[in-house]
Amino acid sequence: MAEIAPFVRHEMLPAEPAPASEAGVLHWLRANLFSSPLNVVLTFAGVFIVYWLVSHSAPWLMHSVWAADSLGECRAIIAERWGPDATGACWAVIRDRWHQYLFGFYPWEHIWRPITVFALLFVAIAPVLFSSVPRKLLWFTLAYPLLALWLLWGGTIWPEVMIAAGFGIGALGFMLGARFGSLGAISLGTLAAALFWVVPAAPLEHALAAMLPIGLPEVSSDQFGGFLLAVTVGVGAIALSLPMGVLLALGRRSDMFLIRALCIGFIEFIRGVPLITLLFVASLLLNYFLPPGTNFDIILRVEILVTFFAAAYIAEVVRGALSALPRGQYEAADALGLDYWKAQRLIILPQALKISIPGIVSTFIGMFKDTTLVVFVGLFDPLKGISDFVRADFAWKGIYWEPYIFVGCIFFLFNFSMSRYAMYLEQKLKRDHR
Amino acid sequence: MKKSVFLGALTVASFVAGAAAAATLDDVKARGELNCGVNTGLVGFAAPDANGNWAGFDVAICKAVAAAVLGDSSKVKYVPTTGQTRFTALASGEIDLLVRNSTWTFTRDTDLKLDFAGVNYYDGQGFMVRRDLGVSSAKELDGATVCIQTGTTTELNLADFFKANNMSYQPIAIDTNAEGEQQYLAGACDAYTTDASGLAATRAAFADPENHIILPEIISKEPLGPVVRHGDNEWGDIVRWTLNALVAAEEYGVTSANIEELSKGTQNPEVNRLLGTEGDLGAMIGLDKEWAKRAIAAGGNYGEIFAANIGEQTPIGLARGLNAQWTQGGLLYAPPFR
């Protein structure tokens, strides 16, 4: 019997590198860019578009001029440095007018006020946005709108104090009314605050202002412009439209006929009318109804209408989320014996708002960009209002892309941060499929 | 923001509806400030500088009226108005006076219930083309593409002109002047049309003004002037005669430089009446004797205002043309101060 030598390999073979077609850059290219004839065409088309864009804009951006006093000077510098046919960006206009793009005509000696307000904005919204921030800061968040109002517009501090006092009295009424249930609490709170504002607030304010004239120099609304205006209107409308939108959404699903009808009417009317129409109403039509000489602040008017507009959209976003909740959630809340407001607060809304985050943030982003429409009522929005009069200065007449790019970048910064935060929030609140 | 107003809004105060007040003069005096509607930005006519100070040919009228009425040319609140909001802003009482390069037309004067207090600039619509197009007259523009601002009288004038001359054109709709320049320079249209004053400023701002020509034809009449509300004739008189005072001052050689000296009394009784050293014309329009003197001192007479803002010494470089005194072959003709 012949000895059979079993062939057993004792050592592992060294790993072969993957075939050239299945690894490395080549594989990636084949898999992602050239996997089919259609993809080959699309890839080349895409590369061509990118090349075209870069080849056209790169020289223009490379030939940027920052230090000049007029467009003519920019052109002279560009021609001198890069030849007579070169084109280049003239950022000198931004250097010359950046403060107007950011603050409009806000008096320069008081410029610390909007800057402070903007810095404090982040302190105020931090506890709302991030749960790791101490809860005590929420008190500052509550006080912030009035503080901002006072810092931005100036005047004596007492009107803001009166408004705050009204809210305080309202809160007191709410607590007293709490023993009569949610409805009692809300109605007593509202009634107390309204009574305070209607009857003693104005005389009290005058008396206090006469005794203790604490205040800042007044800055009128027509001096607001640029991003100061956009952020003031935008942040104000975002802060006010969310609660208002939620209430409208709840009202639209209410069983009470009158409330439901009012909410439907409001939402459908506001959504059915273009924002520009509403702005025209705010700026022009209201003047016909108000007594002559009434100085109903234009920014306040615009703010109210923009808030209404955003609230109507938010209401529909939230209503969609409310409809998406399984019926069992409502029934479970009822079964626990919770009353309407408690059920909404503890069970329904936390889930509904979580679902509607992308929609709400989209609405906010859209609304923030829509603030540039105030240009149509003669306010200086950063995109067109400021650029129009900058171009009306002969030194900068003929400038076109630079202001748009500058303003577009700042808008992108704001909106991209909002969108990123929304994604973070969605991740954090994710409770399913972990 | 007026805080009491904010409170008022919160309290839902009962607002009493009412029409715009008739006595604008009283309102302005009580307010201590003239609300003057101006363009949101037009080269040479109205524009704020880097410090937010408004200046320009139209703005100078606002200043003169404020000086005449309030005694201080700086007491003006400039309300920027757009083409859409300007007349409503005036009719609703938001502004007392509109000086926004607005063309005096029949319908605006009658149907819109406005009053044009006069003409501060005689403009007209023109064309600009590239020199290498080889066109020397607007009559040769048959078949051309024309950049035109939509919703303006210029659009209608253009259609009228081409129809009257039996020519065809292709309009390229643009929204703003800046966009029009951009389209024209990019070659999207053969010709760019707007008011001649605007064309001159646009051309002057080009990198290569020598390669563009403004065609000689002026195809429309655009008398631009200050506007007030219909129905308040006292206020209308003040604006009209303030403008007339500026024009008359140029005619009689009253300038911001010599006005102090002339107001001590001159041989010319008309100058004396204008400056308030003789008679009391001011009282007839509810102002004091020296109203016209202050209006002229604010920015100079009409000629000085023209020269400082849009004249040939400025980059815009407009010639007086129709806007010269009637004695110089122009259309400026102030009625007598008597």
The verdict on A300 and A325 lying in the same domain is yes
Contacts of A391 in chain B (CB under 8 A): 41, 43, 177-178
How many structural domains are present in chain A? Answer: 2
The verdict on A174 and A251 lying in the same domain is no
CB pairs under 8 A between A and B: 163
Whether A197 and B7 lie within 8 Å, measured CB to CB = yes
In angstroms, rounded to a whole number, what is the distance separating the alpha carbons of residues B146 and B134? Answer: 16
The verdict on A171 and A203 lying in the same domain is yes
Per-residue pLDDT of chain B (338 residues; tens, 9 = 90+): 444 444 444 333 333 333 444 589 999 999 999 999 999 888 899 999 888 899 999 999 999 999 999 999 999 999 988 887 889 889 888 899 999 988 999 999 999 999 999 999 999 999 999 999 999 999 999 999 999 987 677 888 999 999 999 999 999 988 778 888 889 998 999 999 998 888 888 888 888 888 999 998 899 999 999 999 999 999 999 999 999 999 999 999 999 999 999 998 889 999 999 999 988 899 999 999 999 999 999 999 999 999 999 999 998 888 998 999 999 999 999 999 98
Q: pLDDT tens digits for A58-93? A: 989 999 999 999 998 999 999 999 888 888 899 999
pLDDT of residue B22: 59
The verdict on A351 and A224 lying in the same domain is yes
Separation in Å, CA of B26 to nearest CA in chain A: 11
pLDDT of residue B11: 36
pLDDT of residue B205: 85
Q: Count of alpha carbons within 13 Å of A411, Cβ hemisphere only?
A: 23
In angstroms, rounded to a whole number, what is the distance separating the alpha carbons of residues A400 and A378? Answer: 21
Task: For residue B296, give the nearest of B333, B236, B238, B242 by alpha carbon.
Answer: B242
Could you tell me the two tokens for A205?
């304010």
Could you tell me the two tokens for A94?
């931004």
Look at residues B222, B257, B286 and tell me which one is the last residue of a structural domain.
B222
The verdict on B216 and B228 lying in the same domain is no
pLDDT of residue A294: 66
Whether A376 and B5 lie within 8 Å, measured CB to CB = no
In angstroms, rounded to a whole number, what is the distance separating the alpha carbons of residues A108 and A259? Answer: 48
Whether B15 and A159 lie within 8 Å, measured CB to CB = no
B78: left (phi over 0), alpha (psi -120 to 50) or beta: beta
Provide the residue range defining the domain that includes B65.
28-122+224-328
The verdict on B237 and B323 lying in the same domain is yes
CA distances from A233 to A237, A268, A382, B202, B245 (A): 6, 23, 12, 34, 44
How many structural domains are present in chain B? Answer: 2
Separation in Å, CA of A427 to nearest CA in chain B: 39
Find the closest chain B residue to A379 by CA distance. B80
Q: pLDDT tens digits for A21-67? A: 777 788 888 888 888 899 999 999 999 999 999 998 998 999 999 99
Separation in Å, CA of A146 to nearest CA in chain B: 11
DSSP letters for A348-396: IHHHHHHHTHHHHHHHHHHHHHHGGGGGGGT---TTTHHHHHHHHSGGG
Residue owning tokens 């006469």: A210
Which of A130-134, A202-206, A422-426, B293-297 has the weakest average pLDDT?
A202-206
Best residue in B3, B26, B101, B314 for a mutation probing chain A (most A CBs within 10 Å): B3
Higher-pLDDT residue of A208 and B240 is B240
pLDDT of residue A292: 62
Whether A288 has a pLDDT exceeding 80, the answer reads no
Could you tell me the two tokens for A217?
């120099």
Q: Is residue A408 part of a domain?
A: yes
The verdict on B135 and B114 lying in the same domain is no
The verdict on B45 and B72 lying in the same domain is yes
Mean pLDDT of all residues belonging to chain A:
88
The verdict on A200 and A261 lying in the same domain is no
The verdict on A395 and A253 lying in the same domain is yes
The verdict on A178 and A230 lying in the same domain is no
Could you tell me the two tokens for B206?
């080009």
pLDDT of residue B17: 32
Find the closest chain A residue to B198 by CA distance. A392
3-state helix/strand/coil string of B195-227: EHHHHHHHHHHCCCHHHEEECCCCCCCEEECCE
The verdict on A289 and A196 lying in the same domain is no
Question: Of all residues in chain A, what percent carry a pLDDT higher than 90?
Answer: 45
Separation in Å, CA of B182 to nearest CA in chain A: 7
Q: What's the N-to-C CA distance of chain A in angstroms?
A: 65
Q: Given B5, B93, B316, which is nearest A292 (Cβ)? A: B93
Separation in Å, CA of B78 to nearest CA in chain A: 9
Q: Is residue A392 part of a domain?
A: yes
Whether B39 and A392 lie within 8 Å, measured CB to CB = yes
Q: Is residue A202 part of a domain?
A: yes
- How many C-beta atoms surround the C-beta of residue B107 within 10 A? 8
Q: Given A155, A289, A387, which is nearest B15 (Cβ)? A: A289
**Taking residues A294-313, what's their average pLDDT?**
88
Look at residues A168, A187, A216 and tell me which one is the last residue of a structural domain.
A216
For chain B, how long is the longest CA-to-CA vector? Answer: 69
Look at residues B192, B222, B252 and tell me which one is the last residue of a structural domain.
B222
CATH, residue A410: 1.10.3720.10
**Taking residues A200-223, what's their average pLDDT?**
82
Q: Is residue B337 part of a domain?
A: no
- Phi/psi of residue B127, each to 5°? -125, 145
Could you tell me the two tokens for B103?
């063309």
The verdict on A255 and A320 lying in the same domain is yes
The verdict on B244 and B323 lying in the same domain is yes
Q: pLDDT tens digits for A141-182? A: 989 999 999 999 988 888 888 888 888 888 888 888 777 777
Q: Is residue A416 part of a domain?
A: yes
Q: pLDDT tens digits for A322-353? A: 999 999 998 999 999 988 888 998 999 999 99
Whether B7 and A153 lie within 8 Å, measured CB to CB = no
The verdict on A378 and A294 lying in the same domain is yes
CATH, residue B302: 3.40.190.10
pLDDT of residue B208: 87
Q: Given B2, B18, B177, which is nearest A292 (Cβ)? A: B18
Could you tell me the two tokens for B66?
């404020």
Provide the residue range defining the domain that includes A185.
156-216
Whether A1 has a pLDDT exceeding 60, the answer reads no
